[in-house]
Structure 1
């Protein structure tokens, strides 16, 4: 976007990453010029399974390149990133659709795949060239088809959610809950500020798991998001 970006990523816990995977990642990143010592493995395992470190490297790397290109100095990003824990399945694919529809809401393009810096646009141009983006789109029916078919199904889902015109007056709002299109657009803040978003049980369990990090002043209960069926938020947003 003009002054920020959105990422939907799967972070793996440290205990699910083997020593061999850390060594392989190290060699891919630094080549044969450097050798990873056994005592360094825990450090890199922690570093490469940390969301904060992941975002930090992206932002710092971009800033270095941008500053060099523009002949400027100093920081580029004004604030710390915000993060939301998203449940797999229906909530996840709605979150991905929210991200891909951002350029439409901002008036940058007429169709989401026309925006070069989005996952939908990238998949349209490079869907069969590499494995840069995951094809796990959150729903079982999107995982059993060919990449081309998954792309078609997901595109229809995004168009329906955003009420996007296909051309010649045709709108794919009959494919995925057309009565919720406007409500979906009005509830988009939940995908950036909810804290935890998903089913009631997912939000409840997430709160208990991260209670020591959240440190709430009072007990938090899942709040239902009106207009999004069976989706709850950790925070009550207006």
Structure 2
């Protein structure tokens, strides 16, 4: 059976995962991490994609991004992927593929899942046992939102402004969200929806989304949530309305 095209629509936040082939390392040095960030910043600007959050792990990376055109996200990912592979192969004196096929992505409902997805992304290094706390990991956007650094790649989503009236209030509120973490159900929902390519949101969101594209957005008929949505629709991120 032919695989479905990626679910990509402008104006919606997308959670994206790109893995190394056979889970092999895609970074060898600090310069490698920085090179990928620079490529993302350059091409996000070029293709009009707002990157809200990211984490670079040793053998994969996550993005949370909103494209402003229909082709912006795939064009950005293609450009970054090709240029980074050339760079990495040259620097490591290797050849051949680096990525595990196509990147995985899906749309998420902003009000219910955007902040949860940011927390999910920030906590990847903690779940992997690389650091004790998200702020200790250098290759994520966590520091940008907690006042530790300014990241040229990041375009904050407007929802961030609802966390507080001042930069300090927003930074403290976001740090608290990350400290509180997610439930295992939320983690599974965010992972499964992205890997399977089904939209993540409540039934009304999924039904409305289906009206905007001919591509199926859920495993079952439009207007009804997929299984992970049924599980998590009553579990919004703690402390976020």
Are 1:199 and 1:230, in contact at CA under 8 Å, matched by a contact in 2? Answer: no
Structure 1 residue 202 and structure 2 residue 205: aligned?
yes
Distance in 2 (CA, whole Å) between partners of 1:125 and 1:68 is 36
Q: Indicate the residue corresponding to 1:91 in structure 2.
A: 113
Structure 1 residue 141 and structure 2 residue 162: aligned?
yes
Distance in 1 (CA, whole Å) between partners of 2:177 and 2:186 is 12
Structure 1 gaps, min length 5: 15-48, 163-180, 232-238
Give the structure with higher Rg (CA). 1
1:91-111 per-residue CA deviation (whole Å, 9 max, x = no partner) reads: 111111111111111111110
Change (3 A) 1:115 1:209: same
Structure 1 residue 229 and structure 2 residue 234: aligned?
yes
**Higher strand content, 1 or 2:** 2
Change (3 A) 1:187 1:10: closer
The residue matched to 1:109 in structure 2 has which SS?
Answer: coil
The residue matched to 1:133 in structure 2 has which SS?
Answer: coil
Distance in 2 (CA, whole Å) between partners of 1:123 and 1:215 is 31
Distance in 1 (CA, whole Å) between partners of 2:189 and 2:212 is 26
The residue matched to 2:208 in structure 1 has which SS?
Answer: helix
Distance in 2 (CA, whole Å) between partners of 1:87 and 1:217 is 17
Moved over 4 A (4+): 122-126, 215-218
Q: Indicate the residue corresponding to 2:136 in structure 1.
A: 114
Q: Indicate the residue corresponding to 2:3 in structure 1.
A: none
Structure 2 gaps, min length 5: 1-56, 237-241
Q: Indicate the residue corresponding to 1:10 in structure 2.
A: 66
Structure 1 residue 66 and structure 2 residue 88: aligned?
yes
Change (3 A) 1:64 1:159: same
Are 1:90 and 1:139, in contact at CA under 8 Å, matched by a contact in 2? Answer: no
Q: Indicate the residue corresponding to 1:184 in structure 2.
A: 186
Say which structure, 1 or 2, has more relative contact order (CA 8 Å, 6+ apart): 2
Are 2:126 and 2:133, in contact at CA under 8 Å, matched by a contact in 1? Answer: yes
Change (3 A) 1:94 1:191: farther
Q: Tell which deviates more after alignment, 194-203 or 218-227.
A: 218-227
Deviation at 1:148, TM superposition (A): 3.2
How many residues in Structure 1 have an aligned counterpart in Structure 2? 176
Change (3 A) 1:159 1:92: same
The normalised TM-score by structure 1 is: 0.63
Change (3 A) 1:151 1:61: farther
The normalised TM-score by structure 2 is: 0.62
Change (3 A) 1:150 1:227: same
Aligned CA RMSD, in angstroms, stands at 2.8
Q: Indicate the residue corresponding to 1:159 in structure 2.
A: 179
